[in-house]
A and B are shown apart, each in its own frame.
Chain A
Amino acid sequence: MSETPKDPLGPGAPDSGVQGQGTTTQGAVPAGKKDAGRNGAGRDRDLTSWLPTVVDSIAAVVLALLVGALLIMFSTPRVVESLSYFFSYPWDFFKFSGEAVWDGYRALISGSVGSGTAWTRTLERAAPLICAGLGVSLAFRAGMFNIGAQGQILLGALVGGFIGFHYDLPPGIHLLAALLGALVAGAAWGAIAGILKARTGAHEVITTIMLNYVGRFTMLYFLGKEALQRPDSDNLLSPPVDDSAAFPTIAGVHVGVLLAVVAALFVWWLLERSTLGFEMRAVGANPDAARTAGMSVARVYVSAMALAGMLAGLAATMTVLGRQDSLTDQVAGTVGFDAITVALLGRTTPLGTVLAGLLFGALSAGGLSMQGAAGVPPELTQVLQALIVLFVAAPALVRGIFRLRGQGRKADVMATGW
């Protein structure tokens, strides 16, 4: 079928901006420009084509925050009331709106990066987003849209947590065993969708969504078992993991956050430097050519989904082994779904995913203090996140609004069929 470009949002990354019409079908365009003096041109192009995407991303964030400001305004009773006498005292409306937005966003910033504890919270919230986001990115680069991070996290949490509180092992080994269990369980759950796609062609968007639900019921089933029940509670709730299985903390931040960075480096190495990554990118961009070149598309699908699940399993350890949360069916929160937006915002590159994960971690941490300090509902951050990705995906729209120069890049054609 059609090529799945590695960059889901279209223009931007150096090797994606090529379209089928115009240049290529018209034939010999750049033929004959082969002087050795232009060797540096490739690198220059990389830089210039990377820059606008940063500008676009920042513009998208700003635009989303502006829409968010509107939502804050109309969620503040004082502002809404001032509208009823707007024509008598218009100043009230502007004053109250300004105050509401100022209070809200000040709380957002101070709650995310304003203090040491705020930073800790941001990092601890970013870490699982980064790990799961890396999983989504990796699968995307191999041509698969992994919506199943949520289920993979649940399974990882279930196994990792169970090992963490059920067994008594010496400190280092206990942590290692729980970590390994979470990774393997996540990988196994992810691999199911890969195997189904490779063997039967079942579309991974459908199967991963369904596996999320099945994962939730699996969690519920085991939570109902005696061995997982917290003794002092009537709810479906497990005990937290033993301290011997928990991540140690350094300077207030648990070590899991470092693991997220290691995972990002690993994904970068895998994609850019390894044979498997080469195959993954080839399969993701053009499965037919990859197959013709002797690559096993099925094997790539399965291994990419298994790795993606493993990264989601790592994300699970951030909560279960890092924050020592109890197992519930809500243990994954919305990390699995936010991971998709993180990956998309990060343009499915490891570095981008890390940055996007940090941004979303900050939004999530700041969202809490917005609610506490300014009474802004926490759902606002979810709306903000969706808007940011939406705007990043449509750079032409954002540029039009901010009158940015287009750099000659049209919104590229992105063909991703079923």
Chain B
Amino acid sequence: MKLEIKGLTKRFGSFTANDHIDLTVEPGEIHCLLGENGAGKSTLMNMLYGLLEPTEGEIVVDGEPVTFTTPGEAIEAGIGMVHQHFMLVPVFTVAENVMLGREQTRRGVLDRKAASRLVRDLSDRYGLKVDPDALVEDLPVGVQQRVEILKALANDAKVLILDEPTAVLTPQEIDELMAIMRGLKEQGTSIIFITHKLREVKAIGDRISVIRRGKVVGTAQPSASEAELAELMVGRSVQLTVDKAPATGGAAVLEARGISVVDPRGHLVVKDVSFEARAGEVLGIAGVQGNGQTELIKSLLGLVRPDAGQVWIEGRDISRHGPRESLEEGIGYVPEDRSHDGFVGSFSVRENLVLDLFRNEEFSRGPVLKRDAIEANARHRIEEFDIRTETMETPVASLSGGNQQKVVVAREFSRPLKVLIASQPTRGVDVGSIEFIHKRIIAERDRGTAVIIVSTELDEIYALSDRIAVMYDGRIVGTVDPSIPREEIGLMMAGATTPAAANGGAA
């Protein structure tokens, strides 16, 4: 099936998300769509999938112009999509998720057996191993993604759109996914592969289109160099690494011993984890999403009480502290999901900049807020952190992802810290903000703060860390030096303990 996009445009009010985009996908081709966060890739795909209506332009399938007003029509036309945020109902089984929207019934009763059979057939044919009767919420993310692909295949997709599919996978799983993609390609399926990772584009793409600020700014061949692609994507030359001096490696500031956490559903998600963070050093915690990092960090903060184990800061036991006491001990925290935990969306920039500081003498006297001091602080931080906002009264929810993150970072960096814990500090953030935030983190390290970075992006881990701990299935499977090759860390992220792990793990 040949898919053409001609002059497709989408406007939200005065903002143009997609500006006259032209794109052609040949049958059996893997077409990569490269662009950074917020460039308009997802908007384009949502129009292609009938989730958004184009303001202008047309979509042509095999020479016939088509319009999709619902995803149902797109599915009918042979378009399948694997969404960045999985479109799976967590409390349904795999089979139920696959049959949803195309249910078979026998005398009015759902035919669950037929659905299971279909899932088994498809997973055999494409080599996607899944248990059809498992509940989706119990499956690891990598398997959930397979379910998403199965869902699209069950609908006989001729064009498969994969939206940032590798963000949640280990390097090995990424290799598997690429193998699956090649297999699909051989069977004649066209694939649109959306990503912002240069390495993957080069590895799998037949053709590359680069999108920036809602426009196609160029096409490239997979043979192009990473630096060229990056420049095309961002619009200027990009520094792919962070400048930093070697770590000074001071005394241990934060120590965790034997931490275990049981989640609300009764699963043991953090299993006897011990580590330490030292002054003037960045400890990177690598691992695929959902291997206990979230819960581990929350237990350090006192947001979740560990079911076993202890945490010390400079020798003081803080395991029974709540978040407020932990913050007062000098922990700075950049949460992984900023709009969930990091800021109050309806609050102004000014208010969010003192969200955890308003109790300090600087900003309040007894029960009364010092409005002048809070305003002065906002003015100062907006300047210092280059937060792009109309005014300090603008609600944070209306800022771009990068500027939202800068608000959180600015707030956390604006008091003296002993430990900085940053989870996914640059997720969903534009390249300019990434560079800025990385620089600030290293500056904080150089001031003698112990820094803990949790990231699922290996690039980020390598760029910042002085030591890397790898988490898998609730454990730290090893602590290694950043000189270790990517492949080895990849293996550890899949659970292997390497010889290097035993050596590097020494405290």
Please give the residue numbers on chain A whose beta carbons come within 8 Å of chain B beta carbons, in ascending order.
3, 5-6, 15-16, 18, 20, 22-34, 38-39, 41-42, 273-276, 278, 281-282, 285-286, 288-296, 408
Tell me if B351 is interfacial: C-beta within 8 Å of chain A: yes
Which of A30, A278, A290 lies in contact with B400, CB distance below 8 A?
A30
Q: Is the CB of A26 within 8 A of B17?
A: yes
Pairwise interchain contact B39-A42, C-beta atoms closer than 8 A: no
Q: Taking the nearest CB of chain A, how far is it from the CB of B57, in angstroms?
A: 17
A26 and B43 contact, CB distance less than 8 A: yes
CA distance A407 to B328 in the complex (A): 46
Identify the interface centre among B343, B346, B371, B393: most chain A CB within 10 Å of its CB. Answer: B346
Residues of A within 8 A of B367 (CB): 274-276
Cβ-based interface call for B80 (8 A): no
When chains A and B are docked, how far (Å) is the Cα of A48 from the Cα of B317? 53
What residues on A are CB-neighbors of B342 within 8 Å? 289, 292
Q: List, in ascending order, chain B residues with CB within 8 A of A30's CB.
A: 388-390, 398-400
In the complex the two chains form, what is the Cα distance from A276 to B323 in whole Å?
17
Contacts of B388 in A (CB 8 A): 30-34
Looking at B126-134, B356-364, B491-499, the stretch in contact with chain A turns out to be: B356-364
| A31 and chain B: residue at smallest CB distance | B388
Cβ contacts under 8 Å, A24 to chain B: 397-401
Number of interface residues of B (CB under 8 A): 55
1/0 contact string of B468-493 vs chain A (CB within 8 Å): 00000000000000000000000000
Q: For window 40-61 of chain B, which residues contact chain A by CB distance below 8 Å?
A: 40, 42-43
- Taking a contact as CB atoms under 8 Å apart, the answer to whether B400 and A28 are in contact is yes
Known: A23-B12, A24-B397. A42 touches B390 (CB 8 A): yes
Which of B38, B333, B394 lies in contact with A28, CB distance below 8 A? B38
Partner of A408, one of B13, B17, B333, B430: B13
Does A292 contact B335, Cβ atoms closer than 8 Å? yes
Given A292-B303, A293-B356, A294-B324, output 18 extra A-B contacts at Cβ < 8 Å: A5-B346, A15-B347, A15-B348, A24-B401, A26-B40, A27-B37, A29-B398, A29-B400, A30-B389, A30-B400, A38-B391, A42-B392, A42-B393, A273-B368, A285-B346, A286-B343, A295-B356, A296-B324
* Number of inter-chain CB pairs below 8 Å: 145
Residues 350 to 400 of chain B near chain A (Cβ within 8 Å) = 351, 355-356, 358-359, 364, 367-369, 371, 388-395, 397-400
In Å, the complex CA distance between A293 and B390 comes to: 25
Is the pair A274, B369 in contact by a Cβ cutoff of 8 Å? yes
B327 / chain A contacts, CB cutoff of 8 Å: 293-294
- Which B residue's beta carbon lies closest to that of A292? B341
B371–A273 touching, CB < 8 Å: yes
For A269, the closest partner residue in chain B by CB is B368
Instruction: A317 to B379: give the CA distance in the assembly, Å.
Output: 46
Q: Is the pair B369, A275 in contact by a Cβ cutoff of 8 Å?
A: yes
- Residue B292 at the A interface, CB < 8 A? no
Across the A-B interface, give the 9 residue pairs with the lowest CB-CB distance, nearest first: A27-B38, A294-B324, A293-B356, A28-B400, A42-B391, A42-B393, A18-B397, A292-B341, A286-B344
Q: Does B171 contact A (CB under 8 A)?
A: no
Closest to B400 in A: A28
How distant is the Cα of A135 from the Cα of B120 in the complex, in angstroms? 58
Whether A31 contacts B359 in the complex (CB less than 8 A), given A274-B368, A292-B333, comes out as no
A-B contact pairs, 6 of them (CB 8 A): A27-B40, A28-B430, A31-B400, A42-B394, A278-B351, A293-B356
B267 interface residue (CB < 8 Å to A): no
Bound-complex Cα distance A20 to B351 (A): 20
Whether A278 touches B369, Cβ cut-off 8 Å, given contacts A24-B397, A291-B303, is yes
Contact A27 B430 (CB under 8 A): yes
The distance in angstroms between the C-alpha atoms of A285 and B401, with both chains bound, is 19
User: Which residues of B lie under 8 Å from residue A22 when comparing CB positions?
Assistant: 12-13
Give the shortest distance, in Å, between A273 (CB) and chain B (any CB).
Answer: 6
A292 to B179 Cα, complex, angstroms = 41
Which chain B residues lie closer than 8 Å to A34 at the CB level?
388-390
Interface residues of B in 300-322 (CB under 8 A from A): 301, 303, 322
C-alpha spacing A41/B328, complex, angstroms: 37
Q: Nearest Cβ in chain A — how far from B471, in angstroms?
A: 21
Report if A278-B358 is in contact (Cβ < 8 Å); known contacts: A33-B390, A273-B371, A289-B343: yes
Kindly provide the distance from the CB of A142 to the nearest chain B CB, expressed in whole angstroms: 13
Q: Once the chains bind, are A289 and B344 in contact (CB under 8 Å)?
A: yes
**Residue B449 interfacial (CB < 8 Å):** no
Alpha-carbon distance A149/B327, docked complex (angstroms):
37
- Contact: B355 with A293, CB < 8 Å? yes
* Bound form: Cα–Cα A99–B15 in Å: 54
Question: 1/0 contact trace for B129-156 toward A, CB 8 Å?
Answer: 0000000000000000000000000000
Q: For B333, what are the chain A residues with a Cβ–Cβ distance below 8 Å? A: 292
Residues 402-437 (chain B) with a chain A CB within 8 angstroms: 402-403, 430
Residues of B close to A32: CB separation below 8 A:
388
- Bound-state CA distance A286–B344 (Å) is 6
Q: Is B106 among interface residues, defined by CB-CB distance under 8 A?
A: no
**Does B345 belong to the interface (CB within 8 Å)?**
yes
* Chain B contacts for A18, CB-based, 8 A: 345-346, 395, 397-398
The interface residues of chain B lying within 8 Å CB-to-CB of A285 are 344-347
Quick check: A23 and B398 within 8 Å, CB to CB? yes
**Measured between C-beta atoms, what is the minimum distance from A268 to chain B in Å?**
13
Nearest CB of A to B17, in Å: 5
B340 sits at the interface (CB 8 A)? yes
Whether the pair B369, A273 counts as a contact (CB closer than 8 A) is: yes
Q: Hey, which chain B residues are within 8 Å of A29, CB to CB?
A: 15, 398, 400
Given the complex of chains A and B, what is the CA–CA distance between A61 and B43 in angstroms?
Answer: 41
Shortest A307–chain B CB gap in Å is 13
Contacts of A275 in B (CB 8 A): 358-359, 364, 367-369
In whole angstroms, what is the CA distance A285 to B343 when docked?
Answer: 10
- In whole angstroms, what is the CA distance A285 to B38 when docked? 26
Asked if A31 and B355 sit within 8 Å, CB to CB, the answer is no
Cross-interface CB contact of B390 among A16, A41, A276, A295, cutoff 8 Å: A41
A274 to B328 CA separation, bound complex (whole angstroms): 21
A274 CB contacts on chain B under 8 angstroms = 367-369
CA A348 to CA B60, docked complex, whole Å: 51
* Distance between Cα atoms of A416 and B191 in the complex (Å): 39
Cβ of A294: which chain B residues have Cβ within 8 Å of it? 322-324, 326-328, 356, 359
Give the docked Cα–Cα distance between A32 and B342 (Å). Answer: 23
Complex alpha-carbon distance, A292 and B302, angstroms: 9
Q: Is A3 a contact partner of B345 (Cβ separation < 8 A)? A: yes
Residue from A3, A38, A286 having most chain B Cβ neighbours under 10 A? A286
The CA-CA distance from A155 to B142 in the complex, in Å, is: 57
Determine whether the beta carbon of A16 is less than 8 Å from that of B346: yes
A290–B394 Cα distance when bound, in Å, is 19
- In the complex, what residues of B have CB within 8 A of residue A278's CB? 351, 358, 369
Task: Say yes or no: A27 contacts B401, CB within 8 Å.
Answer: yes
Which of A5, A6, A22, A275 is packed against the most chain B CB atoms within 10 Å?
A275
Cα A244 to Cα B262 with chains together (Å)? 61
Contacts A23-B12, A273-B368 given; does A290 touch B344 at CB 8 Å: yes
B337's closest neighbor in chain A, by CB? A288
Min CB distance A128 to B, Å, is 27
**Bound Cα distance from A26 to B345, whole angstroms:** 16
Which residues of B in the span 73-125 have a Cβ within 8 Å of any Cβ on A?
A: none
A282–B342 alpha-carbon span in the complex (Å): 12
| A32 to B388 CA separation, bound complex (whole angstroms) | 6
CA distance A295 to B355 in the complex (A): 9
Interface centre among A33, A41, A282 (most CB of B within 10 A): A282
Contact at B371–A28, with CB atoms within 8 Å? no
Q: Is the CB of A289 within 8 A of B13?
A: no
- Residues on B with C-beta less than 8 A from A38 are 390-391
**Residues in A neighbouring B394, C-beta threshold 8 A:** 42
Residues of A within 8 A of B348 (CB): 15
Quick one: closest A residue to B398, CB to CB?
A18
Interface 0/1 of B255-297, CB less than 8 Å to A: 0000000000000000000000000000000000000000000
